[in-house]
Chains A and B, each alone.
Chain A
């Protein structure tokens, strides 16, 4: 059974989150360069550690 109190509060929040002018709007996207930087760092670390730590 729907909860009218919850629904009203949800509607209030959706309105704020969807309004681009609201200070309570959704967060911006994570910049793509952050992901690329993390992935690149991981690749470099992986290669170095394989060269150093792979059991022989």
Chain B
């Protein structure tokens, strides 16, 4: 194979769609464009769903405080890791995680995160499209599709097919769709705010009780904070591969403050107001009472379309990760790989209420894994490696790479994540969502993140570095 053919291969495959490290000249997202993409992601209907869930526990003022605090903490963390390292080195996020979990271990992490977490998020969005379309049909033809699981599944599957069509176009097409959807979603969110305050005054909304009020208001507030920290951390599996496409370090960091933090907070707060004013936590049932039949149907239809943008971005990020798992996967054509990624999404869409009606628990399951991972990566990259990676070693086989650790696995990082997960479970039961002693002071995600980070730091100093593994000594001396 000649060098020109090699270059042609990369161009044909699209470096942005493989796990090859991106050059500066290939970064397609400036500060402004990544901000736009970030806002688009943030003002999807999942922010409204988040607001609806928060309104279960606290009233308007507590909701605003808990959303801003919870999202603020979580988004700052995910803006640091994975965004900063993926943007600096242009590496696919899970390829970068080889420096943390080992060359082989990172592939297992990638498969778990991609297949379970990212597919579940994509499915959640598709199911929301299904709910939105079912409500539209009910209004137009006076049917009762919104209460039919089969109808919602069919509409969700239609959304999955449309997402696949958009995915085949690659990340540039995602950006084009985002350019259309983002400004309209901003208008819709602000329009909802106007319509809500047309129905109720601030004092009425501020005095409205939560949908399921708890006797212990402090505990309710902490549950709300936890819900929002988990909601913010849930961006971890996907945002790194989007930040990878940015062209400056600041472009990878600050747009998260505008989108994932500020825009998400505004949309979630609007969701809280709507839920409190209308007495329902389901965003797809708010629009018609708020806007009337014609406007409500139009908004629901547009929200279904806008959700497609988020589905495509989520799926794109997951598929980018999959291509890094093996040479065999890398050779699969992009359209086929996209279709394969969507298979678990299709399966989840067949059981629409399992995710949609258990949003808080779903977030809890995501946070159990993601919070410790985020803590481990922040400590590994910023504290132990002082923001220095060996790019070449990320791509070497375990026996040659500084990131080989023990046959390709860094057990210390896995133990740290495991102990972090146990900390979470000890503080908040992930199945029944019952808090245990201590939760009322510290929540669950942040302690899980801190425990994992500290265990990884100590384990690396006491075990990994002493045995000369992981390339830590080399990177510190650079």
Contact = CB atoms under 8 A, between A and B. Distances in A.
A7 B105 CA distance: 21
B392 A18 contact: yes
A27 B29 CA distance: 14
Given A9-B20, A10-B20, A24-B23, A55 B221 contact: yes
B391 A34 contact: no
Looking at chain A, what size class is its interface with the partner chain?
A: 35 or more
B5 A5 contact: yes
B387 interface: yes
Contact of B90 (A9, A26, A52): A26
Contacts of A35: 80, 253
Interface in B285-343: 327-328, 330-331
B171 interface: no
Interface in A1-56: 1-6, 8-10, 12-14, 16-18, 23-31, 34-35, 38-39, 42, 45-46, 49-50, 52-56
A12 B249 contact: no
B160 interface: no
Given A1-B327, A5-B9, A38-B76, A30 B221 contact: no
Interface stretch (B65-73, B353-361, B410-418): B65-73
B249 A3 contact: no
B6 A46 contact: no
Tell me if A's interface is mostly helix, strand, loop or mixed: helix
B392 A50 contact: no
Contacts of B327: 1-3, 6
Given A26-B89, A38-B257, A17 B250 contact: no
Given A5-B9, A49-B68, A26 B391 contact: yes
Interface string B205-241: 0000000000001101100000000000000000000
B220 A13 contact: no
B438 to A, nearest CB: 19
B24 A25 contact: yes
Contact of A27 (B6, B9, B248, B331): B248
A55 B61 contact: yes
Interface of B: 1, 3, 5-7, 9-10, 15, 18, 20-21, 23-25, 58-59, 61-66, 68-69, 72-73, 76, 79-80, 84, 87-90, 217-218, 220-221, 247-250, 252-254, 257, 327-328, 330-331, 387, 391-392, 395
30 contacts: A1-B327, A3-B331, A4-B1, A8-B1, A8-B6, A9-B6, A9-B10, A13-B23, A14-B392, A17-B23, A23-B25, A27-B88, A27-B252, A28-B249, A29-B88, A30-B253, A34-B253, A35-B80, A35-B253, A38-B253, A38-B254, A45-B68, A45-B69, A46-B73, A49-B65, A50-B65, A55-B62, A55-B217, A55-B221, A56-B217
Interface of A: 1-6, 8-10, 12-14, 16-18, 23-31, 34-35, 38-39, 42, 45-46, 49-50, 52-56
A-B pairs, top 5 by smallest CB distance, nearest first, are A53-B65, A8-B6, A24-B23, A30-B249, A49-B65
